[in-house]
Structure 1
Amino acid sequence: MTSVNPSTTETAGPVVASSPAPLPAAQAPTPAPQAPAQAEMSQRLAIGLSGMLLASLLAIVNEQVTALAMTDVRGALSIGHDDGSWLTVLFEAANVSTMIFAPWFGITFTLKRFTIGAVVASMLFAFLCPFSPNLSTFYVLRVLQGVAGGCLPPMLIIVALRYLPPKIKLYGLAGYALTATFGPTIGTPLAALWTEYVSWKMAFWQTVPFGLLSCVAIQYGLPQDAVKLERFRSFNWVGLFTGGPGVAMLVMGLLQGDRLDWLNSTFVCVMLFGGTLLFIAFLVNEWYQPVPFFKLQLLYRRNFSHGLSTLVGAVMLLVGVAVIPAQFLAMVHTYRPLQTAPLALLVAIPLLITLPLTAALLNMRRIDSRWIMALGLSLVATTCILGSFMTSEWVRENFYWLQSLQIVAQPMVIVAILMGVTTGLPPTEGPFASAMFNSLKAFTGVAATALIEGLGTAREHFHSSMLVDHLGNNALIASQSIDAAHGLGELAHRIHEQAVVLTSADLYRVMAVIAVAVLLLVPVLPVRIYPPWCTTPPSNR
């Protein structure tokens, strides 16, 4: 890996020139203004930033819990599977598309006011969801809930770049990493708690107490800026009406693809092809737009472009290593969220320790973040390779040692990505980076879900057909299997079980390939960077 002086890569360093000749007194230059002293973290500001972290984490947890509890919600409200699927799809479409524009509105209405408004709206719509008089109203509330939730995660990166001193900036980014690692993982235990022991309504109402707490912390701790309504004079209307619908259509097409048989469905074709055309128009507009939502010129920065490309693979891996064991246990051993909750807690709770420890490691001048990222990706690849040897006898305990590798691997990958993306970014470019990073992260999560569902269905059908053909070509074995199983029903169950095992192993192999592909980018694309507090590279001794 190439080590490059950061003063020549991420930011332009000072140029040393020879001393000029003395100037006449009338032309003597004015003294250069001194660089402002680095802001210190006050207790009040720390409370405000904690409120922002809680608000962002709350949005991610609410998204995961409502998705996992949707089976109980549909049952309680007598909603069929097909109609109920839209309760998640509409939420995700609104959530992902909103993240594109949230930073612009956050700067316009001030981070403090906009975030509090989004939290209050999220609490209100979540509280009203269980009281929906009909399905159409429920759809509307889920869309509004998705819009409110999509406004929150992008704000966290903006305030971290703006307010955190260099010495602790990586710890703030580790806090943001909770929304990508701890937040999705803790959703399973919470969904199990509410649906099994309290009420399905708590899947929505859980946002209220924590939302109120985050509003109080933000109101008290964050500085108050002036509203900048004059920004509407140069509002990017073309970007709004191409990017928003384009991303929403893509999300709906991806999430409904497996249920509607992908390109055999006219709806899915319209959503995917129409959304792609609109999003291409959005990107072209953003390139030439003087006040864009996405500042695509940031991709010229090698570490920024590497961070986004690695983010795609990392999010797919995070979704895969969480979903594959849960689906396997549910389909083979009929586990409910309550039974898979210990597996999720095994990863979630230690992340509260390993995330800040990883930030402390990367905050050391001698540590190369590229090696840390490579080590994390190697551990994820190891998890996937070992998981591909699963059998039908595996139960929850067999995944404990496998998933424990994620406790170390996930922080190494995510914090290193955040460090590469944000190092050298001035606070003025924070909103653009936040919009691109969060939108891509959320959309990749949707794409990963669609990939696992679509590929899983195709491979399960393939393995089922191969197993049936194998039995059909061996009449004696088939006859003995039917006698031993006391009927065709039991034999069909055993075939389905084995098909699920083989499918899960295939999905693990796909995740391993993704991990290796992302790993191969590490020695090629990024350049060496140093912690935010470092102004010069260490001396070569």
Structure 2
Amino acid sequence: MTDPAASGSGRPDGPGGHDRADYVFKPHERPFMPGSPAQPDHPAGRKIGYFLIGLYLALIGGLQNGLLLASLTVMQGNLALTPVEGGWVTVAFNMTNACMAMLLFKARQEFGIERFVQVAMCALLLANFVQLFDAGYQFELVSRGIAGLAASCLSTMAMFYLMQGMPAKSKLVGMLLGVGLGQVGVPLARAIAPLLLSNGDITHLFQLQFGLSLVAVGLVNILHLPPAETVRSFEKLDLVTFPLLASGVGLACAFMVQGRIQWWDKPWLGYALAASVLLIGLAFLIEHNRANPMLHTRWMKSRNIIAFALAGVMVRVLLSEQGFGAAGLLTTVGMTNDQLVGYYTVLTLATLLGIGVSIARLDPKDLVRPLLVVFGIIAIAAFMDTHAGVLTRPVNLYWTQAAMAFAAVYIMAPLFMEGILRALARGPDYIISFVAVFSLSQTIGGLAGVAALSAFHTVRTKAHLMAMGQGLTLSDPTVARAAGQAGPTQLLQQANQQAAILAYNDVFFLIGCLAAAVFAITFIRWVYLKINGINPLAEEMAALQKMMSKKQ
């Protein structure tokens, strides 16, 4: 194991106020695990610097995905992409973003934090530099794949920087703040995108992304992270397991994204899903029989971890009500991006509020309660949205969708804390398994939610159209008069719009019912735990406390 005091640049100030090559870390300052930076006692000014840089990195990490989602339609027009090709751009980002966190964790342990930062910044610069040139579809695919890697790196770096800027007793708050702030990027990107996409020109957005990445590179070079301990981490079998897992996840992402675009009856989608299950299964089989596995499959298939993963997936599925349902409804009633700036500004503010309330109200002894709050909010908001019509405007959805945005980030800190506590209690080697479960549940859950709701919406739209068609006959004087005034084509367009709106109301009702059912199940469990005085994380917290006392 390499001592962090001898690991190059980024050492803390010594007593004299300058970098000291001979600085020896105190026991409480040493890294908690290989691959994570040391936690020296910084002066107040440096702590503020670390904290501000952490905030910046968290926001631009979230913007990597947010700006892609906000500009995808315009990008397709600029690059003359079909919807299918635009879907592959989304797949490229999500695949690398979901998978690379596991590989990067081992890379930090093997090569140290400084090289990790260099790779992260190079990836960020490269992804955003390539976009400055109209290089075509293939380069955009590569750029988005690299952007997914960069976003994964930035979220980790943001947590490290924020933790450096927090007092010793509040390091965990810095970690949770980094997780939450990454969620702000999506609504913030949609709020600022119309200003950057005037006249359908995407150049200004690409220039902004590159400029933000240049600032990030400058900031991390002005104030380095403290060094980390390194250990021999990579093994030969990792070169087998990781490609299998990444390929399987990539095929799963392709199945969910392209199935929604091309529809689910395409034969190749079935082959892709089967191959995805086979590849992921092979990866897990290899890991299950390894002496020193990258993924601890026995821990991952335990009841508590399966419940943790299912909770994460269910939350992302239900929250698709906002990304697919509300956004699709507003598009259907004719709202353009310029008319949604105020709407997404409200969502951004609600997200920031959710971060603050979540961290302030977080109680490690009762992590079931936030789930209750979130499922209750989703159910109420979804049922309130079921009365949408042709005249629905963004202002009519401010309260319900602000509640959804609040819930989306309010749940992140409790979920993350439960997973990290369960992993740390078993030992630092289990962190990578937690990263796999958490990142995959969030990514797959989000994509699966949109895919399922999209399919349900399409089916319900056709059902409403058929019901309308039975009543729309020219023998009806009212219909004949409307057809004469507006024309058959416009009448059909209005029927399609009305059917789509009714289908969105069905989507909201379905989400409300699912959220209410999950709320009821969670409430029964929460009452049972309270009555019997059971803390689901009691063993993990005791083990972690014992581990920390030994470190002291």
Task: Bin the TM-score by the shorter chain.
Answer: 0.7 to 0.9
Within-5 A mapping of 1:6-85 = 42=42, 43=44, 44=46, 47-48=49-50, 51-52=53-54, 54-85=56-87
Structure 1 position 507 matched with structure 2 position 510: no
Structure 1 position 444 matched with structure 2 position 442: no
Partner of 1:69, secondary structure, is: helix
Structure 1 residues 532 and 47, CA, compared in 2 at 3 Å: closer, same or farther?
A: farther
Q: Which residue of 2 aligns with 1:355?
A: 355
Q: Give, in whole Å, the separation in 1 of the partners of 2:477 and 2:350.
A: 52
Q: Give, in whole Å, the separation in 2 of the partners of 1:109 and 1:91.
A: 25
TM value normalised by structure 2: 0.79
Partner of 2:68, secondary structure, is: helix
Q: Give, in whole Å, the separation in 1 of the partners of 2:406 and 2:85.
A: 40
Q: Give, in whole Å, the separation in 1 of the partners of 2:111 and 2:92.
A: 26
Partner of 2:295, secondary structure, is: coil
State whether residues 386 and 402 of structure 1, in contact with CA within 8 Å, keep that contact through their aligned partners in structure 2: yes
| 1:453-493 deviation per Cα after TM superposition (whole angstroms, max 9, x unaligned) | 3222222222222211232497455324423x431122112
Q: Which residue of 2 aligns with 1:405?
A: 403
Q: Give, in whole Å, the separation in 2 of the partners of 1:270 and 1:464.
A: 32
Q: Give, in whole Å, the separation in 1 of the partners of 2:507 and 2:329.
A: 11
Q: Give, in whole Å, the separation in 2 of the partners of 1:467 and 1:497.
A: 12
CA RMSD of aligned residues (A): 3.4
Structure 1 residues 36 and 442, CA, compared in 2 at 3 Å: closer, same or farther?
A: same
Q: Which residue of 1 aligns with 2:3?
A: none
Q: Give, in whole Å, the separation in 2 of the partners of 1:406 and 1:259.
A: 25
Deviation, structure 1 residue 150:
3.8
Structure 1 position 172 matched with structure 2 position 175: yes
Deviation, structure 1 residue 382:
0.5
Q: Which residue of 2 aligns with 1:340?
A: 340
Deviation, structure 1 residue 190:
2.5
Structure 1 residues 324 and 474, CA, compared in 2 at 3 Å: closer, same or farther?
A: farther
Q: Which residue of 2 aligns with 1:286?
A: 287
Structure 1 residues 362 and 150, CA, compared in 2 at 3 Å: closer, same or farther?
A: closer
Structure 1 residues 189 and 296, CA, compared in 2 at 3 Å: closer, same or farther?
A: same
Q: Give, in whole Å, the separation in 2 of the partners of 1:104 and 1:522.
A: 39
In the alignment, structure 1 segments of 5+ residues that lack a partner are 1-33, 537-541
Say which of 259, 262, 267 aligns to 1:260.
262
Structure 1 residues 245 and 88, CA, compared in 2 at 3 Å: closer, same or farther?
A: same
State whether residues 55 and 178 of structure 2, in contact with CA within 8 Å, keep that contact through their aligned partners in structure 1: yes
State whether residues 294 and 432 of structure 1, in contact with CA within 8 Å, keep that contact through their aligned partners in structure 2: yes
Q: Give, in whole Å, the separation in 2 of the partners of 1:265 and 1:198.
A: 32
Amino acid at match of 1:72: V
Deviation, structure 1 residue 193:
2.1
Structure 1 residues 298 and 517, CA, compared in 2 at 3 Å: closer, same or farther?
A: farther
Q: Which residue of 2 aligns with 1:388?
A: 386
Q: Give, in whole Å, the separation in 2 of the partners of 1:203 and 1:535.
A: 47
Structure 1 residues 137 and 464, CA, compared in 2 at 3 Å: closer, same or farther?
A: same
| 1:317-374 deviation per Cα after TM superposition (whole angstroms, max 9, x unaligned) | 33322332221111222x22221221121121243244123312225x8x73322331
Q: Give, in whole Å, the separation in 1 of the partners of 2:48 and 2:224.
A: 7
Structure 1 residues 423 and 79, CA, compared in 2 at 3 Å: closer, same or farther?
A: closer
| 1:165-224 deviation per Cα after TM superposition (whole angstroms, max 9, x unaligned) | 4444135313312223x2222121132221028951233333333333434444424212
RCO comparison, higher one (Cα < 8 Å, 6+)? 1
Structure 1 residues 328 and 92, CA, compared in 2 at 3 Å: closer, same or farther?
A: same
Q: Give, in whole Å, the separation in 2 of the partners of 1:154 and 1:291.
A: 24
Q: Which residue of 1 aligns with 2:369?
A: 371
State whether residues 332 and 500 of structure 2, in contact with CA within 8 Å, keep that contact through their aligned partners in structure 1: yes
Q: Give, in whole Å, the separation in 2 of the partners of 1:355 and 1:88.
A: 26
Deviation, structure 1 residue 393:
1.8
Q: Give, in whole Å, the separation in 2 of the partners of 1:306 and 1:516.
A: 18
Q: Which residue of 1 aligns with 2:227?
A: 224
Amino acid at match of 2:496: H
Tell me which moved more, 470-479 or 348-357: 470-479
Structure 1 residues 277 and 517, CA, compared in 2 at 3 Å: closer, same or farther?
A: farther
State whether residues 58 and 181 of structure 2, in contact with CA within 8 Å, keep that contact through their aligned partners in structure 1: no
Q: Which residue of 2 aligns with 1:249?
A: 251
Deviation, structure 1 residue 155:
5.6
